[in-house]
Amino acid sequence: MSTASSIESVLTEHRVFPVPEDFQAQASIAGLAQYQALVNEADTDYTAYWAKLAREKLQWTTGFTQTLDDTKAPFYKWFADGELNVSENCLDKHLGTPTEHKTALIFEADDGVVTKLSFRQLYHQVCQFANGLTALGYKVGDRALIYMPMSVQAVVAMQACARLGVTHSVVFGGFSSKSLHERAVDVGASLIITADEQRRGGRSIALKPAVDEAIALGGCDAVRHVIVYARTGAEQAWHDGRDIWWDAVVDGQAMECAPVAVNAEHPLFVLYTSGSTGKPKGVQHSSAGYLLGALLSVQWTFDAKDDDVFWCTADIGWITGHTFITYGPLAAGLTQVVFEGVPTYPNAGRFWEMIQRHQVSIFYTAPTAIRSLTKAAENTPECHPRHYNLSSLRLLGSVGEPINPEAWMWYYENVGLERCPIVDTWWQTETGGHVITPLPGVTPLKPGSCGFAFPGMDVAIVDEAGEEVERGKGGFLVIRKPWPNMIRNIWGDPERFVKSYFPAELNGYYLAGDGAQRDQDGYFWVMGRIDDVLNVSGHRMGTMEVESALVAHELVTEAAVVGRPDATTGEAVVAFVVLSGDVPAGDEAKRIATELRNWVAKEIGPIAKPKEIRFGENLPKTRSGKIMRRLLRFVANGEAITQDVSTLENPAILEQLSDAY
């Protein structure tokens, strides 16, 4: 849990930035009184509050009569007797309105080539691809794995699945064939949609070969087709009858495709995320409730207006890319930028140049990107944002991990030019949309704080017994009432769902797994994970996952992984490893460390690579054999261990591991 020092460090932040008057005047939620009115409405009768919004914001094929079914709590159902189609709510809804011919996607490729699609054009592409899927026999209830680069086609694939009621599971293109395999098997995918390669930073990275490798690992017998979008045209090994080019799927298909109405609770997608133990959790989201949360987050937090140009830099492989690329902005009828590449190619001015080129007005990125671009702007002054015209910006967002006040100030001054509010949005894969966030027309900003609860969200900080703690005291962040866009289940593992998120001691509250506190003004300050979950560059990673990968290497008998604060990535992975042979030293240690780092990259993906590996004879353990990761965290940070370690099985090992440093 949080330490006293981290609580103090956030309390030293006293700067407050008032809401700009002109911003408030035009905001979707304009001023405290409007915010308070929504909060009061939700407090009075939260099911009525959500029912009203669901009727107002979504188009229903069959209206619902029951708002919340909590008879099987925590397996909540929202709007359960209603039917709709999510893709219809993102695309068809705009046909016949002025939005029909508005630009939906501005796609910028790694090499700078720009492709624009109107809502109508996107609608046709989605329809054609959906018709192609139907022709191949895919239908409501099937599961499709999507392993694609950032592309128009990735959005089309997700939307086409939604249109047919095919549940999608997007796997981040940076994940290895092993990770892909694990997810394909767990979700029972009958279809995989991929590309030959992706382009990032001027390089090509293979995707289809990883799919072949994953299938070759066995257990994916349900997979009938692999659809391959030809991004680069690289030569491919081909499995006749199974593999099929994207173009062949859409060729000759009609441009219209009736959306399949599904139940409000139908699983729109399953997205895997890390937990503290075992394999990744397949977070299952609903259709109607999820979409409502996505749309409200775009409209309220991002104050979306018709003439905005929105840009969320996340990958579609993460929840941020689902909610703030594929679903929210389209449902809101926003023009948005979709970017294939990386922020540092061809140079570290890429983001600023793109904001200028596409006249981006709302920009949403992660603290890790801000920190690395801050550093880049120092090292290569020509890439500093001051060299670009960023006057189109009116609102900035941050997500993924706590943003340190220094990075916040740099973002505010150099990107937002002290004009743009910053919304530091706290949420999770499981929450589907924003939970705690400033609202730009309401909340005076405190750098490093994510503000107040999103209207309708009942957020609190409690102790081990579920009692709310006093202001200024740290505790567990919980959500006390169910909300429409909450996680519905862990795919195939309802027990783990209950155990992970609704522990018995907490009165049925949703346990987020983060430590937090509120200051005297009621602002929330999130301090990070309370479980053994790392947050590297804004992405969750279980210590277990990295440890399992290390132990799978033939040289390794035991491994423990901890996080260490890192100036760029937020947290860096530090691994303590016991080899089957002697403890290596010098060049030998370096060589094995490199080998293990590459191994982890192959097993999980490059983002899981340990930044540092230390070798020892064994690991610090309790007498019952539990690895003391908490102590290893001190060692990794070069901090003195002040607590009594005499109860350890092998206290001397701590010194060996520290010396090794």
- Residues in contact with ligand WT7 by CB under 6 A are 273, 318-320, 399-402, 424-429, 450, 512-514, 526, 528-529, 535, 538-540
Annotated ligand binding at 429? The verdict is yes
DSSP string, 438-475: --TTTPPB-TT--BEEPTT--EEEE-TTSPBPPTT--E
**In whole angstroms, how close is the CB of 189 to ligand WT7 at the nearest point?**
21
Give the tokens for residue 248.
């062949």
Q: How far is the CB of 318 from ligand WT7 (least distance, A)?
A: 6
Residue 194 or 398 with smaller CB distance to ligand WT7: 398
Q: Confirm or deny that 111 is annotated as ligand binding.
A: no
556 is in an annotated binding site: yes
202 annotated as belonging to a binding site for a ligand: yes
Q: Which residue is nearest to ligand WT7 (CB)?
A: 429
Q: Does the annotation place 427 within a ligand binding site?
A: yes
Of 432 and 610, nearer to ligand WT7 (C-beta) is 432
Q: Which is nearer to ligand WT7, 314 or 575 (CB)?
A: 314
Q: Shortest Cβ distance from residue 426 to ligand WT7 (Å)?
A: 4
Give the number of other CB atoms < 10 A from CB of residue 305. Answer: 15
Cα separation, 486 vs 479, in Å, equals 10
* Cβ neighbours, 10 Å, residue 565: 12
Q: Which of 573, 535, 563 is nearest to 428 (CA)?
A: 535
Q: How far is the CB of 82 from ligand WT7 (least distance, A)?
A: 27
| Nearest approach, Cβ of residue 525 and ligand WT7 (Å) | 9
User: Which tokens go with 594?
Assistant: 């490199």
Does the annotation place 540 within a ligand binding site?
yes
CA distances for 202 relative to 384, 535, 636, angstroms: 21, 27, 35
426 labeled binding residue: yes
Least distance in angstroms from the C-beta of 482 to ligand WT7 = 18
Residue 647 Cβ vs ligand WT7, minimum distance, rounded to whole Å: 31
Is 551 annotated as belonging to a binding site?
A: yes
* Residue 424 annotated as binding site: yes
In 230-329, which ranges are E strands? 243-245, 262-263, 269-273, 281-285, 309-312
**525 DSSP assignment:** E
Nearer to ligand WT7, 107 or 408 (CB): 408
Between helix 152-164 and helix 119-135 the angle, nearest 10°, is: 60
In degrees and rounded to multiples of 5, residue 579 shows phi and psi of -95, 160
Environment class of 254 (CB within 10 Å of its CB; exposed 0-12, middle 13-18, buried 19+):
exposed
Output 402 or 605, the one with its CB closest to ligand WT7: 402
For the CB of residue 86, give the shortest distance to ligand WT7 in the complex, in Å. 19
What is the nearest approach in angstroms of ligand WT7 to the Cβ of residue 301? 11
β-bridge partners, 227:
193, 244
Q: Please, which residue, 279 or 553, has the CB nearer to ligand WT7?
A: 279
Any binding-site annotation on 401? yes
DSSP state of 606: G
> Considering beta carbons, is residue 157 or 407 the nearer one to ligand WT7?
407
4: left (phi over 0), alpha (psi -120 to 50) or beta: alpha
The answer to whether 597 and 613 are in contact (CB under 8 A) is yes
Judged by beta carbon, residue 408 or residue 576, the one nearer ligand WT7 is: 408
Beta strands 114-118 and 309-312, pairing class = unpaired
**Annotated binding residue at 320?**
yes
Give the H or E element holding residue 170: strand 167-170
Place of tokens 């441009």: 255
Q: Which C-beta is closer to ligand WT7: that of 324 or that of 615?
A: 324
Cβ proximity to ligand WT7: between 422 and 641 the closer is: 422
Nearer to ligand WT7 (CB atom), residue 128 or residue 286? 286
Minimum CB separation from ligand WT7 for residue 529, in Å? 5
> 514: annotated binding-site residue?
yes
What the block records as the tokens of 569 is 């990535």
Q: How far apart are CA 542 and CA 276, in angstroms?
A: 5
Least distance CB 450 / ligand WT7 (angstroms): 5
CA separation (Å) from 5 to 1, 12, 16, 566, 573?
12, 11, 22, 17, 22
Pick between residue 194 and residue 535 the one whose CB is nearest to ligand WT7: 535
The partner residues of 84 in beta bridges, in order of sequence, read 262
β-bridge pairing 395-398 and 422-424: parallel
Q: Which amino acid does the sequence have at 199?
A: R
CB of 151 or CB of 365, closer to ligand WT7: 365
Q: How far is the CB of 218 from ligand WT7 (least distance, A)?
A: 29
Q: Residue 537 annotated as binding?
A: yes
* 566-578 burial code (b ≥16 CB/10 A, e <16): beebbbbbbbbbb
Least Å from the CB of residue 271 to ligand WT7: 9
Tell me the C-alpha distance between 61 and 288, whole Å: 11
Sequence length of the chain is: 661
DSSP letter (8 states) at residue 259: P
Angle at 159 between CA 154 and CA 160, to 5 degrees: 95
Q: What is the CA radius of gyration of the chain?
A: 24
Please report where in the chains the tokens 């999608």 appear, as a residue: 168
Amino acid letter for position 479: I
Instruction: Return binding residues.
Output: 200-203, 320, 400-402, 424-429, 514, 529, 537, 540, 551, 553, 556
Instruction: Return binding residues for CoA.
Output: 200-203, 320, 537
Instruction: Return binding residues for ATP.
Output: 400-402, 424-429, 514, 529, 540
Instruction: Return binding residues for Mg(2+).
Output: 551, 553, 556
